[in-house]
Amino acid sequence: MSEQQYPFALPLGTQISGYEIVRVLGVGGFGITYEGFNPVTRRRAAIKEFFPRGIASRENATQVVFAREDTDVVAWALERFRRSTTELCDFSHPNIVTVLNYVPANETGYMFMEQVEGETLEQWLRKKDKPVSLDELRVVLEPICDALEYVHSRKFIHRDIAPDNIMIRKDGRPMLIDFGAIKIIAQTAQTRAASGRSYGVAKQHYSPPEQMDEDADLDPRADVYALGAVLYRAVTGSPPVDADKRKNDLVLKGADPYVSVAKTARIPLPQAVVDIIDRSLSLKPATRPSSIAEFCTGLKDDGVKTAVVKPAPAAKKVEPMPTPGFSGPGAKVAAPLPPAQPQPLTSDMGPPVASRSWIGLAAIGAVALIIVGVVVASLTSTTTTTTTTTTTTQKQLPAGTARAAIERAEKLASDGNHRAAVTSYAEALRLAGNDNALRVSALKGRAASYGELNQYAEQIADLTEVIRLEPNDPDNYAHRSHGYYFLKEYDRAISDQTRAIQMNTRSGYYYSLRGRSNLAKKDYIAAVADYSDAIRLSPQTALYYARRGAAHGYRSDFGRALNDYAEAIKLAPSEANYYRERSDIYAGRADTTPASRSADLNLAKADLDLVIRGKDAMAVDYEKRGLIFEKLGNRSDALADFRAALARDSNRSISRQAIQRLGG
């Protein structure tokens, strides 16, 4: 951006806390937002500078200056800006932009935030060729509801919910950004300053009427109003009438110009959804839903009664609102992405806080095998179903036909002879000619066998051809993502999984696959979001809770991790891996929380006791328990466990070193 366009912006190349300013992302009445790049860590951040327009100016290119008579109010505002930023740094939710740090510099303050790559909800809605369905909107808004419930539980009100403050990342995850609390601080400074003027913080069309009142004590119903306005805009193509105009018309004309969504929506809506939107947009807070949870319940209600929706005229084009602080619009989420650098899915992925936390070693490896089995079984079942149907109607097939070759291949695969199966599938493809149905059946079967042989490049090639022949089947993308995952091309796996999710937003399994890829990629926030969606769609699947628990564990969010493992164990009490993994969480917390160290170590040991008493005990289980005994000061039991580990696996170097260390 040119200096003429943003005359008060910092010069490009200015350094703040190791980050170089590379461009201006946006300017508002309350500050300037930049993109920063750290040449050492190679990371980018969105950096919001406290620069309230009207009372701030720039001196010597970088220093922010205020009038002398405004010194006290500026000091007050900067302290509250720092405090609010610090509070936001404590927020940890997969659908809320991560606030990283507060940095004082240049006589002002800077909020460092995660740089979100993607597009705003407004941009996403505009690029659609036809009105979005309610199911598509639920995929975006239900996680935002969950994020707002989290915000409200922390005694915060967002104050600035609008389609330009909801971002959709390239992986499809919606994010809540740009809290209005910061704007309130700047506006108060502008109002109190002797030299300045105020810029209203209400968002036209989206803010509730009480937000215009400086003395109003806002509660969650203010955010309910704004979220209702967002949903109104999404289903009608235009935002609702601004609350200020509605109030004025009520006083001057005796009528509220608000038009019910039932008369303006461009898609059929259940009556419950119409009701929740209309109630949310009530001018009186007392008649709105009392919480975001109540709003979300109405949003999810398909009911049996559909509101009568009249065809609405084409929506008037509204210019997109600026979105300071975030990049956009991004590439389509299903676009192919370059492969990521391979990252091993082993114990080096464990929580950084614990030097001996084994989540990655036994837990993730075991789960990977579980998911491999599910994927391979799914691939195989597709082919087997076809064969069963055909065999029922045609008992004897000529030996030289493609169908006979497929049946031979399937028999070989079921016997575990996958190399011979690959050869037989190749023969089937030769005989199938232009019969696409037979070709698809043979390609899917061969892809499954290639997977069993760990020949993932060949598996991907076969499934790419399947996708060319059957482009509208989301399972094909999910199956191909399996090959990319085991080649450690996680971005490509995520691209395929995102495509599958777009085609079927109600499959918890697809979200779980993408969660697995994000877990391997070490994007733990994204993994939490994906497994949360998987749980929302399949709440009785223990594995999804366990995987989300692992993601929480990697982020040292031990409380949430333990809650998830408790749920996984409740659903699958005989699954030994969940006890192993929970033991790791307790051990990790013990290493970082001295006050509960002894209690956590004993809880970790208790979980391993259950595993070791079972039939699936492994050398690593004894080794891990031995380390816990050592930390508890129980030398004799520690030595016994280390010896038991070596008796089962003589290559356990940790156990051998421990025995030497303990003088055993």
Q: Is residue 512 part of a domain?
A: yes
- Tell me which residue has tokens 């936001």: 88
Residue 463: which of 437, 438, 443 has the closest Cα?
443
Per the prediction, the chain carries an average pLDDT of 82
Q: β-strands 166-169, 63-66: how paired?
A: unpaired
C-alpha dihedral over 177, 181, 183, 184, to 10 degrees? 160
The whole model's pTM is what?
0.52
Per-residue model confidence as pLDDT tens digits over 372-408: 444 444 444 444 333 333 333 334 444 469 999 999 9
Q: Is residue 340 part of a domain?
A: no
Q: Report whether 548 contacts 532 (CB < 8 A).
A: yes
Residue 283: which of 240, 230, 235 has the closest Cα?
240
Per-residue model confidence as pLDDT tens digits over 149-206: 999 998 888 888 999 999 999 888 899 987 765 555 655 555 555 544 444 456 789 9
Q: At what angle do helices 220-236 and 292-300 cross, to 10 degrees?
A: 30
Q: Give the domain-ending residue among 587, 602, 617.
A: 617
Q: How far is CA 653 from CA 150, 346, 389, 642, in A?
A: 45, 17, 53, 10
Q: Are residues 97 and 141 in the same domain?
A: no
Per-residue model confidence as pLDDT tens digits over 413-436: 999 999 999 999 999 999 998 899
Is the pLDDT at 326 greater than 70? The verdict is no
**Which distant-in-sequence residues (6+ apart) come within 8 Å of 318 by Cβ?**
238, 239
Q: Is residue 402 part of a domain?
A: yes
Q: Is residue 396 part of a domain?
A: yes
Environment class of residue 655 by beta-carbon count within 10 Å: exposed (0-12), middle (13-18) or buried (19+)? Answer: buried
Q: In the prediction, which pLDDT does 84 show?
A: 86
Q: In the prediction, which pLDDT does 129 show?
A: 85
- Tell me which residue has tokens 């994010």: 175
Q: Are residues 273 and 362 in the same domain?
A: no
- CATH code of residue 210: 1.10.510.10
Q: Is residue 324 part of a domain?
A: no
CA distance 480 to 459: 7
Structure tokens belonging to residue 643 = 């010896």
What's the structural domain count of the chain? 3
Q: Are residues 196 and 238 in the same domain?
A: yes
CA distance 488 to 378: 21
Query: What does the DSSP 8-state code read for residue 239?
Result: P
Q: Are residues 106 and 172 in the same domain?
A: no
- CATH code of residue 512: 1.25.40.10
What average pLDDT does this structure show over 329-340?
Answer: 31
Q: Report whether 269 contacts 315 (CB < 8 A).
A: no
Structure confidence at residue 368 as a pLDDT band (50, 70, 90): very low
Q: Are residues 89 and 136 in the same domain?
A: no
Q: Report whether 134 contacts 235 (CB < 8 A).
A: yes
Question: Edge-to-edge strands of the sheet including 99-105?
Answer: 15-16, 19-27, 31-38, 43-50, 108-114, 99-105
Taking the mean position of all CA atoms in its chain, how far away is CA 360?
Answer: 20
Q: Are residues 499 and 447 in the same domain?
A: yes
**Which distant-in-sequence residues (6+ apart) come within 8 Å of 96 by Cβ?**
147, 150, 151, 175, 176, 177
Q: Is residue 38 part of a domain?
A: yes
**Is the pLDDT higher at 184 or at 648?**
648
Sign of the Cα pseudo-torsion (371, 375, 376, 382, in order): positive
Domain extent for 534: 347-617
Q: How far apart are the first and last CA of the chain?
A: 69
Q: Are residues 218 and 252 in the same domain?
A: yes
Q: Are residues 105 and 162 in the same domain?
A: no
Cα within 13 Å of Cα(153), Cβ side = 11
Q: Are residues 35 and 141 in the same domain?
A: no
Q: Is residue 93 part of a domain?
A: yes
Q: Are residues 132 and 250 in the same domain?
A: yes
Q: Are residues 243 and 123 in the same domain?
A: yes
- CATH code of residue 95: 3.30.200.20
Q: Is residue 283 part of a domain?
A: yes
Q: How far is CA 427 from CA 398, 438, 583, in A?
A: 14, 12, 50
CA distance 194 to 47: 28
Q: Are residues 84 and 172 in the same domain?
A: no
Cα within 13 Å of Cα(59), Cβ side = 9
Per-residue model confidence as pLDDT tens digits over 71-121: 877 888 888 888 888 888 888 888 999 999 999 999 999 999 998 889 999
